[in-house]
């Protein structure tokens, strides 16, 4: 399946107060030739009453962040859909076109090393199959069934389980065909205004750590 990112519906999340981020995102879209994009005003929603240690880990903004992703999904009728957070800065790995297997449900154009238990499998197609990967700054949704499942798991995560959306999506990856490139097209830039500075977790090469043998996972 050949995908031209210039033709993909794109939604990007930005706080009304983060005007510099918005300007940099607009400039980035012009540079990349991505014209089919729309800004979604980020939500500010108070966090639930959870232990302070969890709140420090998740950040007080995690409910608003999750709802902002839901707002992006609600603004379209289906896939493909690219959702970017406004700290997503393009890398020299960016390509206007990508080719993925036909059964791909989603592609992480940004990656993370924030979960030591994540599973990365080399599919020998130029793509890695991922399970348990955090980070939601650059996700390309390619199937309606995954988009629907993602909407449900995000809602459950932020409003029932009291966890960030990327934790829920990390769990969901094991039930779908979710892929990532060895090197990210977008990183969470420390230079952008954001609650967390996670460039060090999102600007690294993925290393396969498992393989599939007779449909069973084996640690490399």
Cis amide prior to 80 (ω within 30 degrees): yes
Helix (H, G, I), strand (E, B) or coil at 166: helix
Question: By C-alpha distance, which of 117, 148, 154 is closest to 133?
Answer: 117
Q: Where are the domains of the chain?
A: 2-219
Enter the pTM of the model: 0.93
Per-residue pLDDT tens for 108-150? 999 999 888 999 999 999 999 999 999 999 999 999 999 999 9
Tokens of 49: 């009453």
Whether residue 196 has pLDDT greater than 90: no
CATH 3.90.550 fits 2-219, yes or no: yes
Residue 99 confidence (pLDDT): 97
Residue 50 confidence (pLDDT): 79
Tokens of 58: 């998740």
CA angle at residue 184 from 33 to 152, to 5 degrees? 90
Query: Could you tell me which residues come within 8 angstroms of residue 6 by beta carbon, excluding any fewer than 6 positions away?
Result: 32, 33, 34, 35, 36, 96
Whether residue 89 has pLDDT greater than 90: yes
Question: By C-alpha distance, which of 207, 115, 109, 206 is closest to 167?
Answer: 115
Q: How far apart are CA 179 and CA 122, in angstroms?
A: 10
Per-residue pLDDT tens for 93-115? 999 999 999 999 999 999 999 88
Q: How far apart are CA 114 and CA 133, in angstroms?
A: 8
Question: By C-alpha distance, which of 71, 50, 70, 73 is closest to 60?
Answer: 50
């Amino acid at each position: 399946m050949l995908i031209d990112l210039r033709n993909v519906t794109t939604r990007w999340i930005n706080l009304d107060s983060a005007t510099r981020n918005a300007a940099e995102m607009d400039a980035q879209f012009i540079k990349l030739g991505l014209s089919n994009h729309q800004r979604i005003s980020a939500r500010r929603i108070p966090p639930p009453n959870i232990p302070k240690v969890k709140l420090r880990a998740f950040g007080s903004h995690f409910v608003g962040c999750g709802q902002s992703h839901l707002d992006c999904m609600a603004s379209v009728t289906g896939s493909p859909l690219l959702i970017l957070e406004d700290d997503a800065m393009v890398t020299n790995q960016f390509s206007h076109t990508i080719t993925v297997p036909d059964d791909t449900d989603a592609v992480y154009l940004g990656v993370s090393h924030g979960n030591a238990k994540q599973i990365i499998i080399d599919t020998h197609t130029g793509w890695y199959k991922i399970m348990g990967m955090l980070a939601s700054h650059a996700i390309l949704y390619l199937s309606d069934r995954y988009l629907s499942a993602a909407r449900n798991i995000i809602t459950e995560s932020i409003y029932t389980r009291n966890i960030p959306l990327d934790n829920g999506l990390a769990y969901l990856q094991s039930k779908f065909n979710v892929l990532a490139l060895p090197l990210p097209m977008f990183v969470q830039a420390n230079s952008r205004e954001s609650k967390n500075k996670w460039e060090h977790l999102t600007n690294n090469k993925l290393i396969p750590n498992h393989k599939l043998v007779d449909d069973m996972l084996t640690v490399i």
